[in-house]
């Protein structure tokens, strides 16, 4: 008996790695049914993230998928963006046309609430790929939806890998730690794909060549995206290529056996300026705080890239 595809909402701040995650999901209809895409401010401001989400839909010829605009700033802080990583547009690299498809009317937060109320309880997975502002806002506005969420599978946080935007914090959590705190205290089953694992899936030249050699528009666009956004990590970490952060979320949904981790307690620093947005993972169980997240630390990187390349070839 084959399981039906998992129904998901992708909450995103594209970003080249978000784009690859969304394309991988679109190429995997047997495993993933994308109910909708909700854009949030993060890598670049909201007008660009919702534009980029629509550009990706058109690149994949999936303009049937509704894109909603969500929150344009975090709950408590001013917005911090990452043009130094993703470029001015947030999707620098390939030259892709401005979208013709329109945003779908309605706020992303209301779409998340309505969808969770309409779909049978326990059948919708939320897949945040950016700051958790839309998700945290939805839970605050409509607490009744919290128990209806099947699972949250998110990219964010770091423990052994420490921070990428400050010494202590990973970007998605740093931008909106208050929203992250709401999510991690929600009681919903959470799978975290932190920098600890995403820094192990680097787009080396050979892997980038494999994207380009797929020979379709999507493969060529992905090769140009990852060639562009690798600069930050290569210069900072001496990496062998761009870390594919967000596609770890989609790959986990398709082939969870590629990943492994530990169910631990994770709490979010929201008080200290020094460590704002740190994901304090009790990896060694030194506290009596109840485990609330599956914190992923390892991945079969070659298996990940084989899956990704094979699926991108489906376009």
Q: Catalytic residues, which ones?
A: 245
Task: Tell which positions 236-265 bind Ca ion, by CB under 5 A.
Answer: 246
Nearest distance, CB of residue 14 and ligand RIB, angstroms: 8
C-alpha 45/C-alpha 34 separation (Å) is: 23
Residue 171 touches which of Ca ion, ligand RIB, none (CB < 5 to 8 A by kind)? ligand RIB
CA–CA gap between residue 209 and residue 228 (Å, rounded): 14
Q: CA 315 to CA 56: how far, in whole Å?
A: 12
Where do runs of H (alpha helix) occur along 42-176? Answer: 46-59, 83-86, 108-118, 133-141, 171-175
**From 28, 43, 270, 279, residue interacting with ligand RIB (rule: CB under 6 A):** 43
Query: What are the tokens at 99?
Result: 């979208």
Residue 163 found at the interface with Ca ion (CB under 5 A): no
Nearest distance from residue 245's CB to Ca ion, in Å?
7
Q: Which helix (H) or strand (E) holds 19?
A: helix 16-26
For the chain, the C-alpha Rg in angstroms (whole number) is 18
Q: Please identify, using beta-carbon distances, which residue of 72 and 114 lies nearer to ligand RIB.
A: 72
Helix 16-26, helix 46-59: angle, nearest 10 = 40
**Residue 129 in contact with Ca ion, rule: CB under 5 A:** yes
172, 186, 226, 279: which one binds ligand RIB (CB under 6 A) = 172
The DSSP symbol for 50 reads H
Continuous segment of H or E residues that includes residue 217: helix 217-229
> Is residue 42 involved in binding ligand RIB (CB under 6 A)?
yes
Binding flag, residue 277, ligand RIB (CB under 6 A): no
Residues 190-249 that bind ligand RIB (CB under 6 A): 245-246
- Give me the least distance between CB of 174 and Ca ion, in Å please: 12
The binding site for ligand RIB (CB under 6 A) comprises: 13, 15, 17-18, 42-43, 129-130, 155, 164, 170-172, 245-246
The binding site for Ca ion (CB under 5 A) comprises: 13, 15, 18, 129-130, 246
């Amino acid at each position: 008996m084959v399981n039906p595809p998992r129904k998901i909402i992708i909450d995103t701040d594209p970003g080249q790695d978000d784009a690859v995650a969304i394309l991988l999901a679109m190429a995997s209809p047997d495993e993933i049914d994308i109910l909708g895409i909700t854009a949030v401010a993060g890598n670049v401001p909201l007008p660009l993230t919702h534009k980029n989400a629509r550009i990706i839909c058109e690149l994949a010829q999936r303009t049937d998928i509704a894109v909603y605009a969500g929150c344009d700033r975090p709950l408590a802080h001013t917005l911090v963006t990452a043009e130094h990583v993703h470029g001015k547009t947030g999707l620098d690299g390939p030259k892709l046309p401005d979208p013709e498809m329109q945003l779908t009317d309605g706020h992303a937060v209301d779409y998340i609430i309505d969808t969770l109320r309409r779909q049978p309880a326990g059948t919708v997975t939320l897949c945040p790929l950016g700051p958790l502002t839309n998700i945290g806002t939805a839970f605050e506005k409509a607490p009744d939806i919290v128990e209806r969420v099947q699972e949250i599978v998110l990219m964010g946080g770091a423990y052994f890998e420490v921070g990428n935007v400050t010494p202590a914090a990973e970007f998605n959590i740093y931008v909106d730690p208050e929203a992250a705190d709401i999510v991690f205290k929600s009681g919903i089953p959470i799978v975290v794909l932190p920098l600890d694992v995403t820094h192990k899936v680097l787009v080396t030249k050979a892997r980038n060549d494999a994207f380009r050699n797929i020979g379709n528009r999507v493969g060529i666009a992905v090769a140009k995206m990852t060639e562009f956004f690798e600069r930050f990590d290569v210069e900072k970490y001496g990496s062998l290529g761009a870390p594919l952060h967000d596609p770890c979320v989609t790959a986990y949904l398709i082939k969870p056996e590629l990943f492994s981790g530990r169910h631990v307690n994770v709490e979010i620093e929201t008080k200290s300026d020094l460590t704002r947005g740190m994901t304090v993972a009790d990896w060694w169980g030194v506290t009596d705080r109840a485990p609330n997240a599956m914190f992923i630390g390892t991945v079969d990187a070659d298996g990940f890239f084989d899956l990704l390349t094979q699926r991108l070839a489906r376009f």
